[in-house]
Amino acid sequence: MGEIGRSIPRVDAKDKVCGTAKYTEDLCPAYALTAKIYHAAIANGWVERIDIDDALAVPGVEAVFTCMDVPQLPFATAGHPWSTDPGHRDVADRLLLNRRVRCYGDDIAVVVATDEVAADRGLRAIRVEYREEPVAVTPEQAMEMAAQGGEPLHEAYADNILGRSQYQEGEWPADTEELTAAKGSYVCQAVQHCHLESAVSFAWQEGEKITVVSSTQIPHIVRRVVGQALGLPWSRIRVIKPYIGGGFGNKQDVLTEPLNAWLAQKLPGRTVKLCLSREEVFSATRIRHPITIDIETLADQQGNLVARSYNAVSCQGAYASHGHGIAANGMTAFRDMYRQSQALRQQALTVYCNVPAAGAMRGYGIPQETFATEANMDDLALALAMDPLELRRKNMMLPGFKDPVTGITCHSSGLEECLRKGEALIDWQAKRQAYAKQSGPLRRGVGMALFCYKTGVYPLSLETSSARMVLNQDGSAQLHLGATEIGQGGDTVFAQMAAEACGMRTEDIRVVSFQDTDVAPYDSGAYASRQTYVTGMAIQKTARLFGERLTGYAAGLCGMAPENLRVQGQHVVKQEDGQPVISLEELAQEAFYSLENSVHISAQTTNHCRSNTFAFGCSFVEIQVDMPLGQIRVLQAINLHDSGKLINPALAEAQVHGGMSMALGYGLSERMIFHPQSGKLLNGNLLDYKLATALDTPDLQAVFVETQDPTGPFGNKALGEPPALSLAPALRNALLHATGVKINSLPLEPQRLTAAFREAGLLEGGEDHV
Which candidate, 286, 229, 254, places its Cα nearest to that of 70?
A: 229
Nearer to other proteins, 436 or 629 (CB): 629
Contact by Cβ (8 Å): 746, 370: no
CA distances from 709 to 405, 422, 642, 712, 725 (A): 22, 22, 10, 6, 21
In sign, the C-alpha dihedral spanning 565, 569, 570, 576 is negative
Contact flag: residue 675 with other proteins (CB under 8 A): yes
- Segment lying near other proteins (by CB under 8 A), choices 91-99, 202-210, 542-550, 685-693: 685-693
Minimum separation from the CB atom of position 723 to other proteins (A): 22
Contact flag: residue 586 with other proteins (CB under 8 A): no
Minimum separation from the CB atom of position 694 to other proteins (A): 8
Minimum separation from the CB atom of position 687 to other proteins (A): 7
- Segment lying near other proteins (by CB under 8 A), choices 5-13, 391-399, 424-432, 752-760: 752-760
Nearer to other proteins, 187 or 673 (CB): 673
Contact by Cβ (8 Å): 454, 461: no
Angle CA(570)–CA(572)–CA(576) in degrees, nearest 5?
A: 125
- Segment lying near other proteins (by CB under 8 A), choices 62-70, 497-505, 628-636, 721-729: 628-636
Contact flag: residue 26 with other proteins (CB under 8 A): no
Contact flag: residue 669 with other proteins (CB under 8 A): yes
Which uninterrupted H or E stretch holds 132?
Answer: strand 127-132
Minimum separation from the CB atom of position 631 to other proteins (A): 7
Residue 504 region by backbone torsions, left for phi larger than 0, else alpha for psi between -120 and 50, else beta: beta
* Start-end of H helices in 638-749: 649-668, 727-739
Contact by Cβ (8 Å): 85, 462: no
- Segment lying near other proteins (by CB under 8 A), choices 52-60, 174-182, 342-350, 687-695: 687-695
- Candidate residues 36, 80, 102, 121; the one interacting with other proteins per rule CB under 8 A: 121
- Segment lying near other proteins (by CB under 8 A), choices 78-86, 516-524, 599-607, 743-751: 743-751
- Candidate residues 342, 556, 750, 760; the one interacting with other proteins per rule CB under 8 A: 750
- Candidate residues 31, 87, 687, 761; the one interacting with other proteins per rule CB under 8 A: 687
DSSP 341: S
- Within 13 Å and on the Cβ side, how many CA atoms surround 339? 13
Nearer to other proteins, 100 or 121 (CB): 121
- Segment lying near other proteins (by CB under 8 A), choices 184-192, 378-386, 537-545, 751-759: 751-759
Contact flag: residue 690 with other proteins (CB under 8 A): yes
Q: Per-residue contact track with other proteins, 696 to 725, x per CB under 8 A?
A: x-----------------------------
Which candidate, 449, 185, 215, places its Cα nearest to that of 292?
A: 185
Contact flag: residue 630 with other proteins (CB under 8 A): yes
Contact flag: residue 232 with other proteins (CB under 8 A): no
Contacts of 177 (CB under 8 A, 6+ apart): none
Q: What is the rounded distance in angstroms from the CA atom of residue 155 to the CA atom of residue 100?
A: 11
Q: What is the rounded distance in angstroms from the CA atom of residue 383 to the CA atom of residue 742?
A: 12
Minimum separation from the CB atom of position 768 to other proteins (A): 4
Minimum separation from the CB atom of position 165 to other proteins (A): 34
Minimum separation from the CB atom of position 753 to other proteins (A): 10
DSSP 234: G
Neighbours of 347 (CB within 10 A): 17
Contact flag: residue 29 with other proteins (CB under 8 A): no
Nearer to other proteins, 19 or 87 (CB): 19
CA distances from 270 to 55, 194, 228 (A): 20, 31, 22
- Candidate residues 398, 424, 558, 629; the one interacting with other proteins per rule CB under 8 A: 629
Contact flag: residue 751 with other proteins (CB under 8 A): yes
- What beta strand segments (E) does 300-435 contain? 305-317, 343-352
Nearer to other proteins, 405 or 692 (CB): 692
Minimum separation from the CB atom of position 732 to other proteins (A): 18
CA dihedral 383, 389, 394, 396 (to 10 degrees): 110
Site for other proteins in 407-436 (CB under 8 A): none
Nearer to other proteins, 62 or 642 (CB): 62
- Candidate residues 74, 459, 556, 628; the one interacting with other proteins per rule CB under 8 A: 628
Site for other proteins in 455-494 (CB under 8 A): none
HEC string of 207-218 equals: CCEEEEEECCCC
Nearer to other proteins, 476 or 685 (CB): 685
Contacts of 611 (CB under 8 A, 6+ apart): 456, 458, 711
What SS3 state is found at 350? strand
Residue 240 β-bridge partners = 213, 516
Contact flag: residue 759 with other proteins (CB under 8 A): no
Contact flag: residue 124 with other proteins (CB under 8 A): yes
Nearer to other proteins, 395 or 669 (CB): 669
Which uninterrupted H or E stretch holds 614?
Answer: strand 614-626
Contact flag: residue 654 with other proteins (CB under 8 A): no
Minimum separation from the CB atom of position 459 to other proteins (A): 43
Contact flag: residue 768 with other proteins (CB under 8 A): yes
Q: What radius of gyration do the chain's Cα atoms show?
A: 27
Residue 101 region by backbone torsions, left for phi larger than 0, else alpha for psi between -120 and 50, else beta: beta
Contact flag: residue 682 with other proteins (CB under 8 A): yes
- Candidate residues 116, 169, 403, 548; the one interacting with other proteins per rule CB under 8 A: 116
Minimum separation from the CB atom of position 397 to other proteins (A): 37
Contact flag: residue 695 with other proteins (CB under 8 A): yes
Nearer to other proteins, 476 or 683 (CB): 683
Minimum separation from the CB atom of position 28 to other proteins (A): 13
Residue 398 β-bridge partners = none
Minimum separation from the CB atom of position 124 to other proteins (A): 7
Burial class from Cβ neighbours inside 10 Å (0-12, 13-18, 19+) for residue 363 reads: buried
Nearer to other proteins, 546 or 674 (CB): 674
- Candidate residues 41, 692, 703, 741; the one interacting with other proteins per rule CB under 8 A: 692
- Candidate residues 606, 631, 678, 745; the one interacting with other proteins per rule CB under 8 A: 631
Contact flag: residue 600 with other proteins (CB under 8 A): no
Contact flag: residue 117 with other proteins (CB under 8 A): yes
- Candidate residues 409, 464, 624, 683; the one interacting with other proteins per rule CB under 8 A: 683
Q: What is the rounded distance in angstroms from the CA atom of residue 166 to the CA atom of residue 346?
A: 5
* Start-end of H helices in 559-648: 584-593
End-to-end CA distance of the chain: 71
Query: Following DSSP, what letter does each residue of 72-113 receive, concatenated?
Result: ---B--B-----SSGGGSPP--B-SS-SEE-STT-EEEEEEE
Nearer to other proteins, 36 or 220 (CB): 36
Contact by Cβ (8 Å): 231, 211: no
Q: What is the rounded distance in angstroms from the CA atom of residue 132 to the CA atom of residue 109?
A: 18
Minimum separation from the CB atom of position 735 to other proteins (A): 17
Positions that interact with other proteins (CB under 8 A): 115-117, 120-121, 124, 628-631, 669, 673, 675, 682-683, 686-688, 690, 692-696, 749-751, 754-755, 758, 763, 766, 768-770
